[in-house]
Amino acid sequence: MQDLPINEIFYSLQGEGGQTGLAMIFVRIAGCNLRCPYCDTDFLRGKLMSLEEILTSLQQFPSRELLWTGGEPTLLLSDSMVAFFKKAGYKQSIETNGTMPPPQGIDYISCSPKPEAFERLTSNFPQGVNEWRFPFGEGIPLPPEIASLPPAQHYFLSPILDPHKTISAQRSALQSCIAYVLEHPQWKMSVQTHKLVGFQ
Ligand code: SF4
C-alpha cells in the first residue's frame, strides 16, 4: 500500500467541536489543496511513512481514537488505508475542508467547509456528516442556510482566533459570533479550547 507523507503524529485532547475533550491520536497528513488566509497549520513538510510505521507510532499511546487531520487528509487517505487501521482496532475520525469526499469507513466526519467547497457539500457528503464546523470571522462568507446542507448531528460556528494574540484582544471576533448564534439559534459556537487553555 502507498506510503503517506506525515507532518506530525501527537497525542492530545480534541480542542473543538463535538468531540471536545476526547483523548485522540492526531495524525497530520502533509499537503492541502487550499491556502486560507487565516491558516495557522504547518502542513507543507512531511516525512513518508508506511502504514506499518504509522501503526507502530500509534501503538505507543493508550487511546484507540485516531484523528486524521491536515492539511487536507482526503487528498491521500484511501478506503484501503482506513480499512487497515480499522482492522488494527482504531476508531477513525477525520477533519476535512469539504472539497473532496471522505474515504469509506470513517466513523466520525468533522467538516469545516471553506467557501471553495460550498457548492460541493451535497455531492461530497450525500449521507451527511457528524458535524459541520464553519469558520466564522471578518472577511469570511457567512455559512449557508442549514436547510441547504446535508444533515449533521452538530452545526457549529468556530470563531477564527489568532494563536499569537490574547483572547482579550480578540473579543470582537468572539462577540460577533455570539451575536450571530443568538440570532440564528440552530447554530452552536465552538471555541478552540486548545488556544484558550494552551495545549497542542
Ligand atoms: S483548508 Fe485548512 S489546512 Fe488547508 S489552508 Fe485552509 S485552514 Fe489551512
Q: Which atom of ligand 1 is nearest to the CA of 135?
A: 7
Cβ contact 46:6 at 8 Å: yes
Compute, in angstroms, the gap from residue 35 CA to the centroid of ligand 1.
6
- The pTM is what? 0.94
For residue 150, which amino acid is it? P
Pocket flag, ligand 1, residue 172 (CB < 6 Å): no
Cβ contact 133:147 at 8 Å: no
The alpha carbon of 71 is separated from its chain's Cα centroid by a whole number of angstroms, namely: 9
**Ligand 1 pocket: which of 16, 33, 36, 76 to mutate (most atoms within 8 A of CB):** 36
CA distance 15 to 196: 9
Least confident piece of the model among 105-109, 154-158, 189-193: 189-193
Q: In this structure, what DSSP letter does residue 139 have?
A: T
Q: What is the pLDDT of residues 33-76, one digit of tens each?
A: 999 988 988 889 999 999 999 999 999 999 999 999 999 999 99
CA distance 23 to 3: 26
Cβ contact 190:156 at 8 Å: yes
Look-up of cell digits 507502530: 56
